[in-house]
Amino acid sequence: MDKHRTKEGVTIGIPEMEDSHLRNTIYLFIDRMKEVTAAMHQDNLKQYVITEGVEFDVEDAKRAFQSLKDKLKRYLYEATLRGMADDELAKKLQEAHGRSGRIIDFPRPVVTGNKYKMVAFDDLEDDPEPF
């Protein structure tokens, strides 16, 4: 069973969380994802992003976003099982990711000989194998 640690330090199973606690935890993760995304897209962002007095570079911010997304999955799974995955939750996730549809022309790594390169989906030839 996936575990959740409350702000008081008590560890409980995610399936044991009250609906309101589960929803608030999901929204907290989403809000943090939005903060990291906003910081990464600042026009004046150069080498460092400052958040809550801690310096980290853009790569750290990308890793933080991925970590939040990975942790969020356990909570979203439970919310879906309970029928809590409604339009409001979907909208918040879309805002955090900056999209509401599928990605078209996403660059994909392909093998050409013994080298890898990133190419747009439309530029893929019939021969190269997707990575």
For the chain, the average pLDDT equals 76
12-18: Cβ within 8 A, 24+ apart? 14/74, 14/75, 14/78, 15/78, 17/78
| Cα–Cα distance measured from residue 44 to residue 47, given in angstroms and rounded to the nearest whole number | 10
Percentage above 90 pLDDT, the chain: 38
Q: What is the DSSP string of 52-72?
A: TTEEEEHHHHHHHHHHHHHHH
Per residue in 55-113, pLDDT (tens digit) is: 666 777 788 888 999 999 999 999 999 999 899 999 998 888 888 887 666 555 555 55
Better-scored residue on pLDDT, 40 or 129: 40
Show the 3-state SS of 4-15.
EECCCCCEEEHH
CA dihedral sign of residues 53, 67, 45, 47: positive
Give pLDDT, residue 130. Answer: 45
